[in-house]
Amino acid sequence: MRVSEAIKCFSDYHRMNSKTNTIRNYELILGRFCSQFGEREVESLTNEEILTFLTRCTEGTKQSTKRLRYSLLSAFFNFIKSSVDPLFQNPCDTPILRKLFKEPKHNNWDILEKEVVDEMIFRTENLRNRLMLELMARGGMRVSEVLNMTPRDSEDRKIIIRDPKSGKEAEVVFIPQKVADRLKEYIREKGINHNERIFSITYPAGRAVVKKAGRLVGIKLKTHDLRRHAATYASRSGTPLEIVSKIILRHANLATTQRYLGKVSDMEAMRWIDNLHG
């Protein structure tokens, strides 16, 4: 079977069974692969050719991107093995390729204490900036989601995320009543139209808002730290992991959520044991 024919079969399968973002990622890597190897027989491809191709198409990218593109190409070859030829050998499945494109090590992030986040928000006098911080720290929203919000996305305590990162048509964020009331009042006072962005600033300006808030309490703060805080605080307050994952962070699987929750110190572990057993 030619590579171009195999890619067509694989793409037809994923159009029926996969999410939009997944399909887009496959199209990116397989489109380039087909341009180079489309007329070749799949069985003729060598490990060295795969290594050269992946090295070129991942040059200058982060390890996580390298791993993703390797995994996508490997999944394509595994599809051929399982659906077309059980004797086919996946050319991605070699020790050197697995090593070069291995999963990156995940950082153990510092955990923001609730008192620090509360103080930071309290000391932020600009109402727009304060609302943005609360939506990230209380609702677990990404800064891009906050900046793209319009009044039509706000339904009392629910925020509708349209065209989310997951590839779904929409997702829902739940926020505290007090934050919802302040958001509604802000929209009314500013006279923001139904389809206008509520926070009409750029992404760099949004990051600057977060950095400035961090300086108020003497910490270096990034936008994702607030989303991570929302998950960690919920988890350590006894919220079930499924709720943290599916509702607050809106992750597709629990493994991703568990990386967000940070490392538990010995002192904290002992405190939880004392709480459980008196």
For residue 35, the domain's CATH number is: 1.10.150
At 269 the pLDDT is 60
Can you tell me the distance from the alpha carbon of 151 to that of 183, in angstroms, rounded to the nearest whole number?
Answer: 9
At 276 the pLDDT is 57
Can you tell me the distance from the alpha carbon of 116 to that of 51, in angstroms, rounded to the nearest whole number?
Answer: 47
Instruction: With respect to residue 108, please indicate whether it lies within any of the assigned structural domains.
Output: no
At 234 the pLDDT is 85
Say how far residue 135 (Cα) sits from the centre of its chain: 17
At 126 the pLDDT is 96
Which pTM does this prediction carry? 0.61
The reply to whether 217 and 90 lie within a common domain is no
The reply to whether 169 and 234 lie within a common domain is yes
Strand 158-162's sheet: what is its strand order? 154-155, 158-162, 170-174
At 259 the pLDDT is 65
pLDDT by 10s per residue, the chain, length 278: 999 999 999 999 988 888 888 889 999 999 999 999 999 999 999 999 999 999 999 999 988 899 999 999 999 999 999 998 899 999 999 999 999 998 876 555 567 888 999 999 999 999 999 999 999 999 999 999 999 999 999 988 899 998 887 777 888 899 999 999 999 999 999 999 999 999 999 999 999 999 999 999 999 999 889 988 888 888 888 888 778 888 888 877 766 676 666 555 566 566 656 665 65
The reply to whether 151 and 270 lie within a common domain is yes
Instruction: With respect to residue 107, please indicate whether it lies within any of the assigned structural domains.
Output: no
Instruction: With respect to residue 259, please indicate whether it lies within any of the assigned structural domains.
Output: yes
At 164 the pLDDT is 80
At 64 the pLDDT is 86
The reply to whether 69 and 135 lie within a common domain is no
Tokens matching residue 195: 């389809």
Count of C-beta atoms within a 10 Å radius of residue 225 = 20
CB-based contact 208:132 (threshold 8 Å): no
**Domain encompassing residue 149:** 114-277
The reply to whether 251 and 162 lie within a common domain is yes
Instruction: With respect to residue 105, please indicate whether it lies within any of the assigned structural domains.
Output: no
Percentages helix, strand, coil for the chain (3-state, rounded to 5) are 65, 5, 30
At 18 the pLDDT is 83
The reply to whether 126 and 218 lie within a common domain is yes
Into how many domains does the chain fold? 2
At 156 the pLDDT is 87
